[in-house]
Amino acid sequence: MSWGNDAGAPRQVRLARHPCYRAEAHGRFGRIHVAVAPRCNISCNYCVREFACANENRPGVTTRVGGVDEALRIVADAVRRDPRLTVLGVAGPGDALANEPTFELFERAGREFPELTFCLSTNGLLLLDRIDDVERLGIDTLTVTVNAIDPDIGARIYAHVRYRGRTYHGREGFELLSRHQLEGLRQAARRGIAVKVNTVLIPGVNDTHVQDVARLVRALGASTFNIIPMIPLGRFASIPEPAPEQVAAAQDLTEKDIDQFRGCTRCRADAIGVPGEQDCALLATAGSKE
């Protein structure tokens, strides 16, 4: 079944077909994540990025990192196989904005796949620097991970931040990251880009702070809030994963301030398909063949 050409569709129509922004789209429409962004410019204490990983379903992993030509072949193959795929996104395995292939990909995809909604996930450090490019390339939806707004809490979550050739640690690093995240978010929303904020729920670290984050990002223009339970990894491997009831309680609390997205499946950087239907890393590998 074809859903028609969305090239000239208004943003609200495109959002209605984004499975990570609208509950009614979840299970009906799919996304294509292409892993063209290996480099990251911050170090999160809960993050472990892995390449050549086929047996885990979580952010930061991919079967492989490919170039733009290969990624566009994957997209063409994927939409041919399943016309329910409506979103093309870059979600890692590093930070999308820290990798130039991200911009080349969307530049070329705008000509080759104008019917797709373009989506980008970022930690926000370079959002202010690249907001003009994000707008120019027609990126409809932007996901920014904001785990804290309090420097004392943020300094516990991030090991370091790397910006313009210098590495920042502790509170200084978090304050730099936070300024760029929040002002970049505000600028994106002012330009009409739909902004979703992801917050990783970390027990004992930011679990009592999520409502403060939700209220501020809503005031800055974010439209959707997605609370993601932390997976115990890296320096936070000893912290237990929050129980489903903890996540639900945080969602119920912050729903008073901002719309919630409750269907997150913690996608891989190379996920393709309708969320929950298939392990699409295998499809991505198949799509890379000539």
pLDDT single digits (tens) 99-156: 999 999 999 999 999 989 999 999 999 999 999 999 999 998 999 999 999 999 999 9
Q: What is the pTM of this model?
A: 0.86
pLDDT tens for residues 91-109? 888 999 999 999 999 999 9
pLDDT tens for residues 181-232? 999 999 999 999 999 999 999 999 999 999 999 999 999 999 999 999 998 9
Average pLDDT estimate for 151-163? 97
pLDDT of residue 178: 98
pLDDT category, 19, cuts 50, 70, 90?
low
Average pLDDT estimate for 49-55? 55
Residue 162 β-bridge partners? 167
Task: Give yes or no for a contact between 105 and 90, defined as CB atoms under 8 angstroms apart.
Answer: yes
Average pLDDT estimate for 42-61? 69
Please state, for a pLDDT cut of 70, what percent of the chain lies above it: 80
The Cα 139–Cα 187 span in angstroms is: 14
The Cα 37–Cα 35 span in angstroms is: 6
Q: CB count, 10 Å around CB of 176?
A: 16
In angstroms, the Cα distances linking 271 to 21, 89, 196, 237, 248 are 16, 10, 19, 24, 25
For 11-287, CATH number out of 3.50.50.60, 3.20.20.70, 3.30.930.10, 3.40.50.880 equals: 3.20.20.70
pLDDT of residue 26: 55
Q: What angle do CA 81, 85, 87 make, to 5 degrees?
A: 140
Select the more confidently predicted residue: 25 or 124.
Answer: 124
Average pLDDT estimate for 246-258? 95
pLDDT of residue 49: 63
Domain ranges across the chain: 11-287
- Does residue 47 register a pLDDT over 80? yes
Task: Give yes or no for a contact between 169 and 159, defined as CB atoms under 8 angstroms apart.
Answer: yes
pLDDT of residue 25: 53
Mapping DSSP to helix (H, G, I), strand (E, B) and coil, where does residue 100 land?
helix
The Cα 166–Cα 11 span in angstroms is: 38
DSSP state of 247: H
The Cα 178–Cα 182 span in angstroms is: 6
pLDDT of residue 138: 92
